Structure 1
Amino acid sequence: MKFSTKKKLVLGMAPAIALLVSGGLYAEDMDKFKLEISSQSADAALLELGRQTGSEIMFKQGLDVQMTLPELKGEHTLEAALNTLLRGTGLTYSFTADGLVVLEQVKQEASESKEVEEVVVTGSRLKNVTTASQVQIITREDIKQQGLGSVEDIVRILTQNVSNVNAATTNDNSITATGAQGQSAINLRGLGTSATLVLVNGRRWPQSSFYGNGTVNLNGIPFSAIDRVEVLLDGASAIYGADAQAGVINFIMRKDYVGGETTARYEGSRNNGNMFSLEQNFGVNWNSGRALLTVNYKESKPVNSVKAGLTTSDFTSLGGSDNRATYYAQPGIVNSADYTLIGSLPEGDDGSDGVAGKLSPDNVVPFDQAKILGNQATSLFESTTAFLTVSQEVLDSVELYGELSYSANESTSSFGAPYLYYTPVPTTNPYNDTGEEVLVTTIFATELLAGLFGDTRASSDQDSLSYTLGVKAALPFRDWELDFSLSRSEEDFYFAVPRMNDALMAQRLAGIDEDGNPLPIEQIVNPFGDGSAQHPEAFEGLMTVPTDGSWAPSTTGSEMDSYLLSVEGGVFDLPAGEVRLVMGTEHRTEILDFTQANTLGLSVFAPEREVESYFAELGVPLFDGVPGIYSLDLNVALRRDTYSFEGPFNGPDMPFSSKEFTHTAPKLELAWKPIESLKVRASQGESFRTPTLRSLFSERRAPYIGWDPIVDPSRPDLGAQTPLWTTGGNPNLKPETSDSLSYGFDWAPTGVLEGLFVSVTRTEIDIEGMLTRWTEVFYDAPELLFEIPGVVDYNADGSIRQLNFSSFNLASRTSESTDINVTYDFDTDVGSFRAGLNATYYSVFKDQLSEKHTPKYGDGKDNGPDRIRVRGLLSWFKDDLSLNFIANYSSSYEHSGAGIYSPQKKIKSHMTYDLTASYLMEDSGWKFNGGIRDVFNADFPFYDGFGRPWDPRRVDTRGRLMYLEVSKSYNLY
């Protein structure tokens, strides 16, 4: 926010009206005018429009009208000219009863997260209508002023986001699957990363082929090209289709910048997670079009776990568990051939002078994994992104546009130390002087840290390419406009991890090569000692990336081809205003390619799905200016989607077959203003999510002996049985469905409280038929397995022969939360201020397998959302300088013990503070942004869960972070 002296002089002449231009009333008969308006600043262009049309145009106080508007020539109605000039500016207009044109900016909620009264893109496909949707906006200026350096940073500040896929969690295989490094995702309301729809410029972004469940990797979105982020915090399948159960996040890219801009940024982290980025923008306008290219390079160093607080894996002194490993150690654990424990060497013994007589069970010491986890709490991440947007008017009322987005991300991370587990070491090994072949369990930690294994890091690459071609055309009636676009998106994911060559290790342990020749002592591995006396030659070539088998490099792909056609415009006028309608169709083809997904353990096939959609949305202003009703607006949306799946159900060797799901999702919104300053709103809708391609198509594994028994409730006389198990996809799955109800109010008073904005929203989401993993059913409600057709196979005597596991449509989930957003703008003699607060309170978050089973509550627990999250902001603006103070709070929560034993019961709350500043040297084009995030380097609340004493889903492992960003803008010609 910047209040220039010029704007204060011109716009400060009246509280609401800053400027009155030209004379004459607006012509109600929609006459066309021959216009000649060159590309210039908005205020000058609109002054010229008023002069050429003979219209009175008023600007509301504080309106930013310094952006450059495109050239406009030819015959246009006043309304069509305004629509063309103001498109993409964030400005809107209305006509008063006496025909004046009033220009204003969409009202916003807070500098960091602003709620709009009139949603132009996200939340509705209609233009210039009042909606009941709760939409938060984060502008480019907010991003700069608050020191956010990545898309992950943006979603982290949303109080509704439950971040379980980020730079820290994807580096920990106990939280996310192996190979997830380099991924980042949004999880609104904690309903899952696949329950939030991700859009870029209103169009779907391709799903991550690694997850293959609809989850989008946000690291593929070009951060430097973002103009603003709009977050719809409500179910929206009736508008955008499936996967919008929790809401929608829409990244709107820049397109109107003119000139060159170079930006460099450096972040220095207390815990070594430093980052450098370089950004370049080139934007040009010409008489009938424009183009903008943005390129960005970024490198992020890994966070050092020791600096972050990991000094030992024994957390008992903190009230947690002793997480040191007991299944391997260094010096190694020696057993006889019949698995009888012999013992270990004393600590500090390198084993070079023999082991006989020195091995003892008393020497076995649990291995402290902090020794090898100290290097990285996050991956080394390198990213190059580019975004190009071009538009060209080819006729007076036709615009062609195109977009191209590219990203190439690389990440590497430590994958732990190689180890031996009950591995034979014969007497031919010169270090084995026991006189018998022994079984050794050891971890090569010392050797790893000494670099003897070479590069043992896991590496992954994610490359994505998306492009869109489209046309917008004004239709020959009222203000109707047609928008048609074709899009194609591709994402490739590669993951490789070096593995120990077991055959070569066996030779090095035996001291004999594959031809039976003895090896020199320098090439023989000593598995008994502490690793300090190993010879480098003994480890040469031991770590390689396999070329085949389940640990060979994995390559997955995701493709999406689509077209989107919509028409929008006014239908007819009511006394309260214009009825507007949008309708259209969308078609998508989505393919996931798992043909080389070895590392991920997936089936070998490339399933695809076709999506055919038809949608319509109607905005009706019901009442306006009657007693008790300043305005009353109704929005109705309806969308019908048909999903057609084709592929080899039950495995790659099965014949191809098809399956179809059809769902119609409605949504109803009502916005009532009893007075101008108060809007009471409510929306109710239905959303859905189709089964994932993996859950439908996963190959059924060969039967294996189950590791836990089960009792058949119809035959308890047979007692606990241990049948065969098999797992695979379930082609009989149905879509999840959800009902959402959202209601609240927005209050923007005038008079002494002018500048205050208060918004309160209650959101209730109920999901039925939720996809449920078989493990949850088996361990929590095994009796349900006998009610699902096809799960249990019997022998002739009535005993259980086999259990056929897969995912099921069983569980329900309920999420109830309240969002509070407050902002207050006020001016003083020392500058302008903005105080803001965003808070989310979760009152209910529960899962239930069936009505007869006890619900599991996740609100305020480690496996659910925080009960309370708050982000407060105080900003000061004076001329070209601004300062921002930000406070971030998350409440304490309980340790659920789900899948993790821990004596810990409660995790403390977490509070951090940020201080940022911005300075603009307007005449020279220089801009400086800098500051400190987590000013006091707050201690991470202790959490006993994932091998490190913090919860990476809830803290930024970088700790205190200082940053400086320098930008220089300039003319290109």
Structure 2
Amino acid sequence: MDRSRLSRAIKGAIATATVSASFATLSFAQEVEEVVVTGTRIQRATDATSTVPITVFDAAALENSGETTLEDFLQELPSMTGGQFGSSVNNGNPGLATVSLRGLGSSRSLVLLNGRRLVSAGTLTGTVDLNTIPISIIDRVEILKSGASSIYGSDAIAGVVNIITKKDFEGAQIRADYGITDESDGEQWLASMTFGAETEKGHVMLNVEYTKRDDIFQGDRKFSQCPLAEGGGQVFCFGSGTTTPAQFFTDNPDDPGFIVDPTTGQVRPFQASDGFNFAEFSYLITPQEVFSIYGYGEHELWDIKNLTTINAFSELLYTNRQSDQLLAPEGTFWGPGIAADNPFNPIGEPVFVTRRLTEAGGRSFTQDLSTWRGVIGFNGEWCNDWLWDISYTYARWVDPQIDRGRANQTNMDTLLASVNFIRDDEGNIIGEEFASADCPEDPNCGIWNPFDPDTLTEDMIEFGLVTNSPVEKETLRSFQINVTGDFGGFALTSEAWAWAAGYEHRSESVEVTVDGAAQLGQIYFVQGTPWSGSYSVDEGYVEVRAPVLEGQRWADLLAFEVSARYSDYDTIGDDTTFAAIVEYAPLEELRFRGSYNEGFRAPGLDDLFSPAELSAERYSDPCFEATDPTVIANCNADSPSLINSPQISGGPQATGFFAGNPDLDKETSESWTLGAVWTPTFVEDLSFTLDYWRIDVEDAIGTFTTDQIVDNCYASASFPNNDFCNLILGPTAVGQQTGAFGPRRAANATIAGQALITQNISTFETDGVDLGAFYNWDFWEGNIAVQGLATYLHDYKFQASAFDPEINLAGKFGADPVTTRIAAFPRWKLYMSADYEADYWSVGTTVRMEGSVDDISPNTADLATQVDATWYQDIRAAYFCWEDVKISGGIRNVWNQQPPYVTNYDDMNTLPLNYDTIGRFFYGSITLSF
């Protein structure tokens, strides 16, 4: 290939911000050619290395994995750690599939499609839903494992996942996949059709894809059949105190909760065995269906030799995701009250009721998410070999949601208080009448005696429940101009000094509508305020690469790169980020690389504008078994009955609310990488990589947790006049009843009304080492490809606020600072694969390892405070018929490795964000090419 043609090929690829690094691919017998690298918009060639850590997986690697979604493939990689949402997250996940580079969260891991931003679908946090990207259109996935805000702007703190689609596909291809677990459930399907053709002056491609995943219930697996608790050195099934039959509480802190014994019909104290098994109603794996259409086209408009070329291109993507989550039946968590003189009340004191409405079935949350994305643009080359592109992107998603089985708080209270008892002069009950004027007008309304489980009829359930139908919408608009070239041939080496520059204007807006019952505040735990918000930003960047030495005795290459980006937001103001990279090769086969990057993350629209939304948070009450004199005094100031009250033992729930904050500032970061790449010349197609990385994040957006608010409130000498106590607004702020336990507590003594408002309060510090080994060689009549990826996590330090101690989650499991769910942060993660491919068949295997972890805050009474290293192996095989038909299949988790048990009452008794909860899985695929 002559240098001019190579230059044009390289520049043409980078014009759409594509990247590659063939040393990290998984495909077979690929020729190592000069390529371009991600994290830069400068056009330059490189030889199987890059100046920043990057891993690339091509379409063959994705197909060999047997995965039908991109989520399942990416989340297994060593650079992804901590909490990531996917199919195994049922409670609190609206069907999202996300990645978290370095464990810093999906909102600090920028996901691009062909180098351009995606709209965040199904969430208002700025997080990209990987379900919106059909796996069969992917040509390769490039993972940049260092900060890149000076190139890409906001969110590229931990790195970038750049998904490159097929563009030059010719012919037709039909693919069908099917998979099932060895428990005969959790079936998965994929069907896709791809068509492509070359025209006289361009190319067109069309893809249609459908995927489906069936549900698995927690009750279908032994490890999750019931929530487990521990006591006396034993593990036993426990459950929620909001149960059926109802549990009743009084204002007396010495009284335990009461239930009516279903056998005797007599009132007795609540026992652990009375807890409600919510696992029976909850999904282990959530179901979903995704349909997508993708189209790409390009056409040459003008080609004047040695002067200029102009091409038009367009890209269209439509995705519809229908997903579903299922939780336990609704409970009357707000505790409607019953007077002491109510004849139904056998306790003789005023009580409030918590009852699970099992007659209604589980709470179902469904999404019907549609996402549209269109890109139109022009690109070309000027006579001086400068490349340019102009594009406009419009993307939008709409998610009409349906939540079924929610309690209409107003109507449930009406049922409970629907009766007045008519008494004679001596106080004897001689009749009943409706207490509410509204009740007789509804044929479903009736008289509910919560002490008798049979009195809640189907008609009453219909009256007491409501369907919630919120609609969320978000729109992204982006206009970009990029230009790149060299300094007119100025060079100190054979590679000219090069530059890139560009401008982008981007805006995003969101609109949330809620239905009438929610606006009236009648649906418990449902946001009742419609809201909208928007932001816009203007950005410009410049980048320079300067090779200064080449071919010297002590320097085969020495080059420097610098970049800067100016961003001006209408919400947070302006700022400039900077990056510098050095590349030094003392020998042709040994290359060192180092980088420094400044980064930032602008607040998301929900961070800024989201109104108050109710939430139930478990916390440890500082007044229970308090020993600190200050805490004891402050608890007694609220109520002398608080200390050691059984109602606040065992991790009670506090009802508060989350809310956005329009005064937020940006998050800022600094990151460093220092590494080496060795490609020995005496062994062809062998390479090793070693990279140290570190990321520091300041002013991270978060909220004080309920524990932080409550602990700092009661531990303060200025109680109750301090900032933390001021964040506890009391039960009336969340529609609960007050009691005898002070202004910050509900009638059952738990904290109520804590305001969990977004603030710039947190910091992250994390560092570690990435290792890689890659080898391709001919063997027998085929080719063997082996690769190994490993990440060692040295530190993962997080400080929630200046009032809290710094914790280090490296090698631990505990509350993920980003998702707040319990997650593992193993020091070691491994991913190793080996494949052999002959003319008509191939076999391969993948081995993955999650390193051992310890509980970050172990209780001496806990039985599961350590998790050993967990290994998984997958096997696969394929057979090629007549070069046009490929039949393949495999087994994931071939040894049926079960997830480890941990003391984790709320979440399947394990760590579903980290470990395989499905078990052994069989899959097969057939691909027809024409």
The counterpart of 1:574, out of the listed 466, 477, 491, is: 491
The counterpart of 2:227, out of the listed 313, 318, 325, is: 313
Instruction: Specify the code of the residue in structure 1 equivalent to 2:593.
Output: R
SS of equivalent residue, structure 1 residue 361:
strand
Shift of 1:812: 2.5
> What aligned pairs does 1:849-868 form with structure 2 within 5 A after superposition?
854-862=805-813, 863=815, 865-868=825-828
Instruction: Specify the code of the residue in structure 2 equivalent to 1:664.
Output: T
Partner Cα separation in structure 1 for residue 758 and residue 31 of structure 2: 38
Shift of 1:506: 6.3
SS of equivalent residue, structure 2 residue 67:
coil
**Aligned counterpart, 1:21:** none
**Aligned counterpart, 2:549:** 623
Q: Is the 1:110–1:822 contact (alpha carbons within 8 Å) kept by the matching residues of 2?
A: no
Alignment of 1:553 onto 2:460: no
Alignment of 1:760 onto 2:672: no
SS of equivalent residue, structure 2 residue 151:
helix
Shift of 1:593: 2.0
Give the 3 Å change call, closer, same or farther, for CA 220–516 of structure 1 in structure 2: closer
Q: Is the 1:146–1:884 contact (alpha carbons within 8 Å) kept by the matching residues of 2?
A: no
Partner Cα separation in structure 2 for residue 365 and residue 691 of structure 1: 43
**Aligned counterpart, 1:969:** 929
Q: Is the 1:168–1:957 contact (alpha carbons within 8 Å) kept by the matching residues of 2?
A: no
Q: Is the 2:10–2:36 contact (alpha carbons within 8 Å) kept by the matching residues of 1?
A: no
The counterpart of 1:591, out of the listed 509, 524, 528, is: 509
Shift of 1:132: 1.2
Q: Is the 2:22–2:56 contact (alpha carbons within 8 Å) kept by the matching residues of 1?
A: no
SS of equivalent residue, structure 2 residue 99:
coil
Give the 3 Å change call, closer, same or farther, for CA 838–80 of structure 1 in structure 2: closer
Q: Is the 2:11–2:387 contact (alpha carbons within 8 Å) kept by the matching residues of 1?
A: no
**Aligned counterpart, 1:188:** 101
> What aligned pairs does 1:126-141 form with structure 2 within 5 A after superposition?
126-130=42-46, 131-141=50-60
Alignment of 1:741 onto 2:656: no
> What aligned pairs does 1:268-307 form with structure 2 within 5 A after superposition?
268-270=180-182, 272-307=185-220
Q: Is the 1:122–1:202 contact (alpha carbons within 8 Å) kept by the matching residues of 2?
A: no
Q: Is the 1:109–1:115 contact (alpha carbons within 8 Å) kept by the matching residues of 2?
A: no
Give the 3 Å change call, closer, same or farther, for CA 320–116 of structure 1 in structure 2: farther
SS of equivalent residue, structure 1 residue 143:
helix
**Aligned counterpart, 2:645:** none
Instruction: Specify the code of the residue in structure 2 equivalent to 1:695.
Output: D
Give the 3 Å change call, closer, same or farther, for CA 181–106 of structure 1 in structure 2: closer
Give the 3 Å change call, closer, same or farther, for CA 346–135 of structure 1 in structure 2: same
Give the 3 Å change call, closer, same or farther, for CA 88–327 of structure 1 in structure 2: same
Count of residues in correspondence between the two structures = 825
Q: Deviations over 1:491-536 (max 9, x none)?
A: 223333221345665677769877777999998878557x7x7997
Partner Cα separation in structure 2 for residue 949 and residue 754 of structure 1: 48
**Aligned counterpart, 1:352:** none
Partner Cα separation in structure 2 for residue 276 and residue 508 of structure 1: 46
Q: Is the 2:716–2:722 contact (alpha carbons within 8 Å) kept by the matching residues of 1?
A: no
**Aligned counterpart, 1:674:** 586
Shift of 1:592: 2.2
Q: Deviations over 1:673-729 (max 9, x none)?
A: 222221111111111112333333355899xxx9989xxxxx999978879x99855
Q: Deviations over 1:343-392 (max 9, x none)?
A: 54555x4xxxxx7xx41426855345446535521322111111111111
Partner Cα separation in structure 1 for residue 835 and residue 231 of structure 2: 42
- The TM-score with structure 1 as length reference comes to 0.76
Which sits farther off after the overlay, 754-763 or 231-240? 754-763
Q: Is the 1:334–1:441 contact (alpha carbons within 8 Å) kept by the matching residues of 2?
A: yes
> What aligned pairs does 1:799-948 form with structure 2 within 5 A after superposition?
806-829=757-780, 831-848=782-799, 854-862=805-813, 863=815, 865-897=825-857, 904-923=864-883, 925-945=884-904, 946-948=906-908
Partner Cα separation in structure 1 for residue 186 and residue 699 of structure 2: 42
SS of equivalent residue, structure 1 residue 194:
helix
> What aligned pairs does 1:36-75 form with structure 2 within 5 A after superposition?
none
Shift of 1:744: 0.8
> What aligned pairs does 1:263-412 form with structure 2 within 5 A after superposition?
263-270=175-182, 272-308=185-221, 309-316=223-230, 324-325=238-239, 327-333=241-247, 344=259, 346=261, 349=263, 358-361=265-268, 364=271, 366-370=273-277, 372-373=279-280, 376-396=283-303, 397-412=309-324
Give the 3 Å change call, closer, same or farther, for CA 578–518 of structure 1 in structure 2: closer
Give the 3 Å change call, closer, same or farther, for CA 376–584 of structure 1 in structure 2: same
Alignment of 1:160 onto 2:75: no
Q: Deviations over 1:166-214 (max 9, x none)?
A: 2345412xxx4xxx3211111100112211111100001112463x332
Which sits farther off after the overlay, 238-247 or 824-833? 824-833
Shift of 1:115: 14
SS of equivalent residue, structure 1 residue 377:
strand
Partner Cα separation in structure 2 for residue 608 and residue 443 of structure 1: 40
Q: Deviations over 1:784-811 (max 9, x none)?
A: 999xx995999xxxxx999997444343
Q: Is the 2:122–2:129 contact (alpha carbons within 8 Å) kept by the matching residues of 1?
A: no
**Aligned counterpart, 1:480:** 386
Partner Cα separation in structure 1 for residue 43 and residue 914 of structure 2: 38
- The TM-score with structure 2 as length reference comes to 0.79
Partner Cα separation in structure 2 for residue 575 and residue 229 of structure 1: 34
Instruction: Specify the code of the residue in structure 2 equivalent to 1:160.
Output: S
Alignment of 1:225 onto 2:137: yes
Q: Deviations over 1:826-875 (max 9, x none)?
A: 22225322222111010111123678974211111224522111011121
Give the 3 Å change call, closer, same or farther, for CA 918–680 of structure 1 in structure 2: same
Which sits farther off after the overlay, 899-908 or 142-151? 899-908
Alignment of 1:148 onto 2:107: no
Q: Is the 2:96–2:129 contact (alpha carbons within 8 Å) kept by the matching residues of 1?
A: yes
Instruction: Specify the code of the residue in structure 2 equivalent to 1:496.
Output: I
Partner Cα separation in structure 2 for residue 927 and residue 242 of structure 1: 42
Alignment of 1:541 onto 2:465: no
Partner Cα separation in structure 2 for residue 298 and residue 626 of structure 1: 55
**Aligned counterpart, 1:123:** 39
Instruction: Specify the code of the residue in structure 2 equivalent to 1:771.
Output: I
Partner Cα separation in structure 1 for residue 218 and residue 401 of structure 2: 23
> What aligned pairs does 1:429-828 form with structure 2 within 5 A after superposition?
441-445=354-358, 447=359, 453=360, 456-477=363-384, 479-498=385-404, 499-501=406-408, 537-538=458-459, 541-542=462-463, 544-546=465-467, 552-571=468-487, 572-576=489-493, 577-596=495-514, 601=527, 604-645=530-571, 660-699=572-611, 729-751=660-682, 753-775=683-705, 778=709, 806-828=757-779
Q: Deviations over 1:414-456 (max 9, x none)?
A: 22123346557899999999999986544344x4xxxxx3674
Which sits farther off after the overlay, 600-609 or 630-639? 600-609
Partner Cα separation in structure 2 for residue 838 and residue 737 of structure 1: 29
Instruction: Specify the code of the residue in structure 2 equivalent to 1:767.
Output: V
Partner Cα separation in structure 2 for residue 556 and residue 756 of structure 1: 50
Q: Is the 1:261–1:967 contact (alpha carbons within 8 Å) kept by the matching residues of 2?
A: yes
Q: Show structure 2 runs of 5+ residues with no match.
A: 304-308, 420-432, 519-524, 624-629, 640-655, 727-742, 745-752, 817-824
- Aligned Cα RMSD in Å? 4.5
Partner Cα separation in structure 1 for residue 573 and residue 858 of structure 2: 34
Q: Show structure 1 runs of 5+ residues with no match.
A: 1-45, 47-54, 58-76, 93-104, 350-354, 448-452, 547-551, 646-659, 710-714, 795-799
Give the 3 Å change call, closer, same or farther, for CA 687–437 of structure 1 in structure 2: closer
Shift of 1:604: 3.7
Give the 3 Å change call, closer, same or farther, for CA 436–694 of structure 1 in structure 2: closer
Give the percent of matched residue pairs that are identical in Structure 1 and Structure 2.
Answer: 23
